[in-house]
Structure 1
Amino acid sequence: MSPLTLRSRTTLTAVVLVALVLGTGAWVLLTTLDRQLVAASDRASRASLGQVVDQVGSDGLPSVLRSVDDDGVAQVFASDGTVLAASANITGRGPITGMAGSTDVQRRTFEGPDDQETETYRSWVVAAPTAAGDVTVVVGSSLESVHEASRRLRTLLLVGVPLAVLLLGVVVWLLVGRALGRLDRIRAEVDAIGPDQLGRRVAEHGARDEVGRLAATMNRMLGRVDGAVSRQRRLVADVSHDLQSPLAAQRLALEVALRDPGAVDAGELRSGVLGPARAMERLVDDLLVLAAADEHAPVVASSLDLDAVVLDEAARARTHTDVRIDTGRVSAGPVRANPSELRRAVRNLLDNALSYAASGVEISLATTADGVVLDVVDDGPGIPPDERGLVFERFHRGDRSRSSEVAGSGLGLAIARTAAERAGGRLDLVDDDGDRAGAHFRMVLPVLPSEP
């Protein structure tokens, strides 16, 4: 047996709960109404009893008592059973049995007159003194009107409560069906979006309810998926592009060596094979670093001096370039980070600056209230405004970096920012507002707390 649908479960739950609430409310209403009507009847009988007792005490007792309403009865009889006075509806009847001998006000229930045997009366009984001796005064009211009112209300509730529950069930069924219909349309639209249709979006009707917010959330999720797939496709394309050149260079060098081994210089062959191999190795290594960061691999951190790393990388770079590297403003910078990741970040920043510098690169390192701040500034052409938001994107390279003059895969700055973030810091491109030429990158890392 298949389980109930969400629509059926929701409707059934609403119907059962409302039926219980309405049923309980109906029972409480009937019980309360019955008690209130009986209490009102008792108050009227008690008032009439007081009037009859006053008449007995004043010796002005008429033979027909008119101090009760049409549904009530009243009777005064002596201790020997002689009826002294009675209401018009029981005139000629003997004393109401079981009532004599009462000395205090009591509430009794007794059957009505002979022609109304089915009626039940609630009465008040009291013994009243007279000159001829004590007499018994009985005043009662019929409960038939109370029962009739309860029966009518019960009949209305027996019909009205099921109708109300049924109507509620229909309304809930329709409303839930309408809401779930919108959800089903969203499901169908999302299910119809294929890998090549990630640009499609779920139709939004402007509603601010839960379904409308779900549609907006689905569209935002589709946007993120579209962006992730686009980045993955660009990654494949860029990696293929970056691997194609060194592979082609290696193949060419090997084919030349195989065609005429004696004509190929060993040094040129090594350069033609090992150089592209190193480029591919760097690319694969960079991809592994980013993959580890994407997988949130734990950071193996230790205490180190960032100034020592900066000076080491600057010394290394001076052996491969004629560009001036100024490290005169490098001071102490104690931090806690992964040494290899931080060294790679500093190297990438410095290599990026050297690739674009016209004559010099300036490096400064200082400890401030914000943390350990590393600034790397070159005097190159700078970064165009339309590319400033893309410099940290993976495989992003400006037009000049696509030329053969500038090496690199476009992953250096992305790796540098990832390393800074994994160390608890950040890496930003600083906007100098035209104060200086070139690009200005700033890395801020938390200061290593001094030991007590």
Structure 2
Amino acid sequence: MISTKMVTGPDGHYTGVERLAVIRSIEVYQARLNTIMWSLTGSVLGLTLLIAASTWLAVGRALRPVEVIRAEFADVSAHHLDRRVPVPSAGNEIARLARTMNNTLDRLEAAVDQQRQFVANASHELRTPLAALRTELELALNWPENASWPQVVTDALGDTLRLQHLTTDLLLLARLDASNVSPPNSRELDLADLVRDEIAHRTTPPHITLAPHTPSNPVLVRGSRSLLARVLGNLLDNAERHTTSLITVRLTHDPDSHEAVLDVIDDGPGIPVEDHQRVFERFTRLDDARTRDAGGAGLGLAIAQRIVATHHGTLTITPGNHGAHFKLRLPTQNSPL
């Protein structure tokens, strides 16, 4: 560093300028700079640690309900589907996640309960004809001299056919439940032609009159002909078991809703309004006193409704003063699904 100084004589007059060179070592500045840098580094490091610790505590506290939900959900099993995850009191995303998981568990529990009930009912239905078949054969073998073998064979054949029909229905329901796409062999077909063919090939008891009403123009729908024929057959079987003398089958086309409407009406005692939904449940028999041979296994209407659902249609019961009125609606070919 260079500085200047004015010089005066003994008498006080200005005589000139004296230049002084002051040298300060650079190590002094370096030491100060190092001190500042270490101070800043320590401050930044301390602040970083403070932020990290605060973040860890905050995140841990925020995610603690998630851990509780995870632990509870991990304990849920097929035997403890009644358990539910806790829902935090705060109405945030975690609370919405917990409610969604509980709703999913509700649906899962209902599906498992329905499946267990279905298996129990199916086992019961299969056990009955098997027990009857075994009893008939054991009695005939124990007393062969007293057995009417043609009658034994006839009864055994009847039980075998019933077993065959029941297993066929169960397999069809299982296949329909597992199907999330359109029915197999789906194609365009004339529903009016299908109704006429099925009624023409059907043999009804002598005391029952089957009155079909179908349009002359085609009613085009898309689906499986065999499955839709099964729906009509099941509806007619149900009507025959309960009608007094007349079954009416009416097919129309609703141009406003772009739907084919099939009505199957009988003049029997009808179905109580409170049972309109229950009749479509599997293994449902409204008349517990009737025999199983007359009433069937209670799968016909359940199968019919399930088939209609796979065809994007509906099968319902229309309230009436007399008889049962089943109404089937299917989208026609020019209607959006």
> 8 Å contact 1:380–1:439 — kept in the other structure?
yes
Residues 372, 445 of structure 1: 8 Å contact kept: yes
Which amino acid in the other structure matches residue 339 of structure 1? R
Query: 2: distance between equivalents of 1:348 and 1:409?
Result: 12
Give the alignment partner of residue 436 of structure 1, picking from 310, 313, 321: 321
Does 1:283 find its partner at 2:157?
A: no
Cα distance in 2 for residues equivalent to 1:285 and 1:215: 42
Give the match for residue 427 of structure 1: 314
Aligned-CA RMSD value: 3.4
Corresponding residue to 1:393 among 281, 296, 312: 281
Alignment of 1:7-406 (within 5 A): 114=21, 158-296=41-179, 299-320=184-205, 322-329=207-214, 332-369=218-255, 370-395=258-283, 397-400=284-287, 403-404=290-291, 406=294
Supply the distance in 1 between the matched residues of 2:150 and 2:276 (Cα, whole angstroms): 42
1:400 deviates by 0.7
Cα deviation code 1:186-240 (max 9, x no counterpart): 2222233343322222222333222212221221222122112211211111111
CA–CA separation in structure 2 for the residues paired with 1:114 and 1:280: 121
Partner of 1:122: none
Contact 1:179-1:211 at 8 Å conserved across structures = no
3-state SS of paired residue (1:261): coil
**Distance between the aligned counterparts of 1:157 and 1:428, measured in 2?**
79
TM-aligned CA deviation for residue 276 of structure 1: 1.4
Equivalent residue for 2:305, pick from 395, 404, 417: 417
Q: CA deviation at 1:184?
A: 2.2
Larger Rg over CA atoms: 1
The verdict on how the C-alpha distance between 1:157 and 1:258 changes in structure 2, with shifts beyond 3 A counting, is same
**Contact 1:249–1:272 under 8 Å retained in 2:** no
Q: Any idea what SS the aligned residue of 2:265 has?
A: strand
Q: What's the secondary structure of 2:247's corresponding residue?
A: strand
Segments of 5+ residues of structure 1 without an aligned counterpart are: 1-74, 76-81, 83-91, 96-112, 120-143
Quote the Cα distance in structure 2 between the aligned partners of 1:357 and 1:118.
Answer: 120
Change (3 A) 1:386 1:186: farther
Task: Identify unmatched segments of 5+ residues in structure 2.
Answer: 7-15
Cα offsets for 1:355-383 (capped at 9, x unmatched):
23344322111122222221222333433
Q: Name the aligned partner's letter for residue 157 of structure 2.
A: L
CA distance in structure 2 between the aligned counterparts of 1:253 and 1:230, rounded to whole angstroms? 35
Percent of paired sites with the same residue = 36
Shifted more, 209-218 versus 225-234: the winner is 209-218
Cα distance change on mapping 1:260 and 1:183 into 2, 3 Å: same
Aligned length in residues: 314
Q: Verify the 8 A CA contact 2:315 2:326 in the aligned structure 1.
A: yes
Paired letter, 1:383: I
Once the two structures are overlaid, the 10-residue window that deviates more, 228-237 or 382-391, is 382-391
Cα distance change, pair 264–216 in 1 and its aligned pair in 2 (3 A) = same
Check the 8 A contact 1:361/1:376 in 2, yes or no. yes
Give TM-score scaled by structure 1 length: 0.60
Does the 8 Å CA contact 1:342/1:419 hold for their aligned counterparts?
Answer: yes
Gap change, CA 1:384 and 1:178, over 3 Å in 2: farther
Q: Aligned in 2, Cα 1:156/1:249: closer, same or farther, shift over 3 Å?
A: same
Q: Which runs of 4+ in 1 moved over 4 A?
A: 92-95, 113-119, 150-157, 315-318
Describe the SS at the equivalent of 2:328.
Answer: strand
Larger RCO (CA within 8 A; separation ≥ 6): 2
Between the aligned partners of 1:94 and 1:398, the Cα distance in structure 2 is 126
In structure 2, relative to structure 1, the CA distance for the partners of 1:352 and 1:319 (3 Å cut) is: closer
Query: How far does residue 329 in structure 1 lie from its aligned partner after superposition?
Result: 4.7
One-letter amino acid matched to 1:237: A
* Change over 3 Å in CA distance of 1:152–1:385 after alignment to 2: farther
Q: SS at the partner of 2:326?
A: strand
- The CA distance in 2 between the partners of 1:266 and 1:316, in whole Å, is 33
TM-score normalised to structure 2 length: 0.78
Matched residue, 2:12? none
For residue 263 of structure 1, give the secondary structure of its aligned residue in structure 2: coil
Q: Do the aligned partners of residues 154 and 354 (structure 1) sit closer, same or farther apart at CA in structure 2, a change above 3 Å counting?
A: farther
